[in-house]
Amino acid sequence: VADGIGGYEGGEVASALTVTSLAEVVAATRGTLEERLAAAVAEANRRILHLQEAHGSELRAMGTALTALALDARTGQAAACHVGDSRMYRLGAQGLEALTQDHNVGTELVREGLLAPEALRRHPQRNMLTRALGAAGEVQPDLLAFTAAPGEAYLLMTDGMLDVVSEEEVAATAREATAWNEVGPRLVALAEARQNDDDATVVAVRLEADAEGPA
């Protein structure tokens, strides 16, 4: 999930470039999934900065948040990278488990004990990103490596989704769906019904048991 910033055109270019770079570099790079994701993020950031320089003021402010999951279905090995304020959750018996932390002013103030959680929604700079692709010469993604098991489910969502749909509603919608490919469309429809002005994007992944391999 790549959620662009810097105006419609710039954000669209940055997010599309990031998704393309991620697919290309992860496929062409050797190493662990974590190492390949890190290389892909660095390359995407380099390409965004190059376009900023080439197009001047037209795309100077463009950038993107990124939350990505890589899975090897044969081994169950998984890795995630995260920059910005989209989120990744694991859906389990107890509900949603957040696997990422937002990189924005409001969340970091709460984390440092400088802002009460209940005051977060009222803070004027709560959504100002502290990390994003395209914001600096080097980007520092949060990287996570873990083992995924058949039956586990993962949800990647932009902040526009979570601004209008609670975590409890996300979990309930995922559990109520009769088919897993209904989860994303149902969540997006729920966000759109609430007149959300921001982008609401969902990637929903569930690992199924397979007779020929682990998942």
Q: What is the pLDDT of residue 9?
A: 74
d(C-alpha 140, C-alpha 136), whole Å:
10
Report which of residues 180 and 114 the model is more confident about. Answer: 180
Q: What is the mean pLDDT of residues 188-208?
A: 87
Q: Among the listed ranges 85-89, 96-100, 122-126, 136-140, which one has the minimum average pLDDT value? A: 122-126
Give the CA count within 13 Å in the CB-facing half-sphere of 65.
26
pTM, 2 dp: 0.89
